[in-house]
Chains A and B, each alone.
Chain A
Amino acid sequence: MSGEVLLDVQKVSMAFGGLKALTDFSLQICRGDLQGLIGPNGAGKTTAFNVLTGVYLPTEGAVMVGSERINGRRPHEINRLGVARTFQNIRLFKQLTVLDNIRIAIAAESSGGFDAVRLQRLKHGPLPSRLFGTALEALNNYRDWWRACLLTPGFLREEVRITAKADELLQVMGLAHRRDELAKNLPYGEQRRLEIARALGTKPKVLLLDEPAAGMNTREKADLMVLIRQLRTQFELGVLVIEHDMKLVMGICEKLTVLDHGETISTGAPATVRADPKVIEAYLGEAPAHA
């Protein structure tokens, strides 16, 4: 199943000084895709994620989200364009409640009366339009303050809407019973699920999951596989998963990209990739000459 191309990575390279962390990395994610990105430790998987989400500025190549070139955009802008991610080492807002964690994501997607994407286009245009965009944004913000301080009906309605949406997401992710607990008090597996829920709150088109199953037991992993598949269909997402657990990756991904030392050594369906001698070599070492 392939729909429109949501995320198009074109020959991206990322070098830190003399270290080439990523070389000529290309990838296309379409609506409804479920792809995996695998490779041994230090292969550049997380670097690839950081390039896609604007944490790093790639040294070469282009990353396209829809028709926008996002090189040099800030992470929050890329998020607004529809790319959300989770983190390898969980980064929840620990001292906030589960509900607030998600409400933050939802509000960021909906805040203000102006269309976020159009505002962004203004802010990246020539100088006059940039100034105009900034002024609009500031106005917007002062209106938000005003409305929050006076508790205007519009503000309250918005709060109710945000909360309702957050509750809906909690329901989907099976976290409804944890709604008012602090995020830090959740068990590990649920923290991972909350991270995914929070990412979904920003209304993404593409979801990037960085080792979502790390630290989970077999049972939780199986549940997670089902969940990821379900989310893909329910929210019509393109999903890209980084994962170490081969069983999980081979089980759910329709296409794999294998990285080693920053270079793409193999792509294709799981079965093809698994049989690729280059992949076997990267994971298990070179086959002995006499074998």
Chain B
Amino acid sequence: MAVLAVLQFALKSQPFYANLACLVGVNVVLAVSLNVINGMTGQFSIGHAGFMAAGAYCSGMLSIGLKDYKVGFLGDGVSDQLFLVIALLAGGAFAGLCGFVVGLPSLRLKGDYLAIVTLGFGEIIRVVVQNSNALGGALGLSTIPQTGSVFMVWFWVFVVVLFARRLAFSPHGRNLWAIREDEIAAEAMGVDTTAYKVRSFVASSFFAGIAGGLFAHFVPLISPGQFTFVRSMEIVVMVVAGGLGSTTGAVVAAVFLTLLPEGLRTVFQNLGGADSSLASKVDQIRMPIYGVLLVVIMLTRPQGIFGTAEAWDLFGKKKQQKPVGP
């Protein structure tokens, strides 16, 4: 907490880095939450950007609606943050609800149905937003109050990592591992597989909604173009590269892959001067780089950078057993 506060203060005069820190944080929340369903439960969802969009627009609209209200006895800043938390929770709840509606029919089945349905859901959300004037249409929504902060974003990073970590060591989490390993055996051992899959999917969408809400409150404009299938794939790449099932892996990969384009831009600028054509094209060559990176990782370490290992495995916790070996 204190570290976060210091960070917030230090980055106040550096809007670029503050923004970057927020973006990294949002991506970490997304990757860790996707890891709960893709990595731990083994159900492949490729529509995470859709849930992010649901959360972003829901909390954004709520914030716009509540813009003029203040809680009198609190300072302006505090009251803003309070409303932000309310908006975030609303966005998360809405995304969770979407997750429930999407997940309930598709998670009853075994196999890859979830991938197809989530893919469809992501596109539906995007198209709906694009065509509804109340949500800004294709132009996007630019009137959301910019109350987000590095502190708030990284607070949620802390929450989601804690959740994912504690979940992995609970009976609930072990049941998710069991479903990933062998669904038929899990069911025969008394695990209600459908219920567990739906619950972990709802939790995952909830945090995606939170991430979307956070995103909406520090980016000056949200538009449907930011929540495309490509965005979903970015998050999937993070989870796969980090190692399916490893929270540490998801965090590290999210941080690395978010900073990568920025780093590349700097490198190219230094190489070819400020107006280097490569530097301005980093955004476009980002996806091929992800692709190559993923191929390299799959060839050299198919289980991802961390496999299923976790950073805290190193600090020898005696009581808690590692759920999965390296």
Interface residues of A (CB under 8 A from B): 53, 55, 74-77, 79-80, 84-85, 87, 91-97, 99-100, 103-105, 107-109, 111, 137, 141, 144-145, 148-149, 151, 155, 158-159, 162, 180, 182, 198-199, 201-202
Contact = CB atoms under 8 A, between A and B. Distances in A.
B257 to A, nearest CB: 26
B109 interface: no
17 contacts: A74-B192, A75-B187, A79-B187, A80-B190, A91-B182, A91-B184, A93-B177, A96-B181, A97-B322, A100-B174, A100-B321, A104-B174, A104-B175, A104-B191, A109-B190, A145-B167, A145-B170
B321 A180 contact: yes
B185 A182 contact: no
A108 B181 contact: no
A158 B171 CA distance: 10
Contacts of B184: 55, 75, 87, 91
A122 to B, nearest CB: 14
B101 interface: no
Interface of B: 162-163, 166-167, 169-175, 177-178, 181-182, 184-193, 195, 199, 203, 308, 321-325
Given A96-B178, A104-B175, A107-B171, 20 more contacts: A55-B184, A74-B192, A75-B184, A79-B188, A80-B190, A85-B188, A87-B184, A93-B177, A104-B171, A105-B190, A107-B174, A108-B175, A108-B190, A137-B195, A144-B172, A145-B170, A149-B166, A159-B171, A199-B189, A201-B189
A104 B170 contact: no
Contact of B182 (A92, A158, A182, A201): A92
B185 A91 contact: yes
Given A96-B177, A100-B323, A155 B170 contact: yes
Contacts of A111: 171-172
B190 A149 contact: no
Contacts of A104: 171, 174-175, 177-178, 186, 189, 191
Contacts of A96: 174, 177-178, 181, 323-324
A118 to B, nearest CB: 15
A77 B169 CA distance: 24
B185 A202 contact: no
B175 A75 contact: no
A198 B187 CA distance: 13
Contacts of A105: 189-190
- Give the interface centre of B167, B192, B193 by most chain A CB atoms within 10 Å: B192
A144 B188 contact: no
A96 B191 CA distance: 16
Given A93-B182, A99-B321, A144 B171 contact: yes
Contacts of B190: 76, 79-80, 105, 108-109, 202
B189 A84 contact: yes
Contacts of B171: 103-104, 107, 111, 144, 148, 158-159, 162
Contacts of B195: 137, 141
A199 B178 CA distance: 14
Contact of B189 (A79, A95, A162): A79
A92 B185 contact: yes
Contacts of A103: 171, 174
Contact of B163 (A77, A95, A149): A149
Contacts of B189: 76, 79, 84, 104-105, 108, 198-199, 201-202
B170 A144 contact: yes
Contacts of A74: 187, 192
A111 to B, nearest CB: 6
- Give the interface centre of B174, B189, B192 by most chain A CB atoms within 10 Å: B189
A209 to B, nearest CB: 13
A176 B322 CA distance: 17
A148 B166 contact: yes
A148 B325 contact: no
A93 B185 contact: yes
A85 B184 CA distance: 11
Contact of A76 (B163, B172, B177, B192): B192
B183 to A, nearest CB: 10
A97 B166 contact: no
B317 to A, nearest CB: 12
A93 B178 CA distance: 6
B188 A84 contact: yes
Contacts of B191: 76, 104, 108
A93 B181 contact: yes
Contacts of B174: 96, 100, 103-104, 107
B108 to A, nearest CB: 10
A192 to B, nearest CB: 14
Contacts of A80: 190
Which 4 residue pairs across A and B have the least CB separation, nearest first?
Answer: A148-B170, A107-B171, A108-B190, A93-B181
A198 to B, nearest CB: 6
Contacts of A182: 325
A83 B20 CA distance: 55
A258 to B, nearest CB: 25
- Give the interface centre of B175, B187, B308, B323 by most chain A CB atoms within 10 Å: B187
A99 B169 CA distance: 13
Contacts of A155: 170
A56 B184 CA distance: 12
Contacts of B170: 144-145, 148, 155, 159
Given A93-B182, A96-B178, A141 B199 contact: yes
Nearest to A148: B170
Contacts of B203: 145
Nearest to B203: A145
- Give the interface centre of B162, B167, B186 by most chain A CB atoms within 10 Å: B186
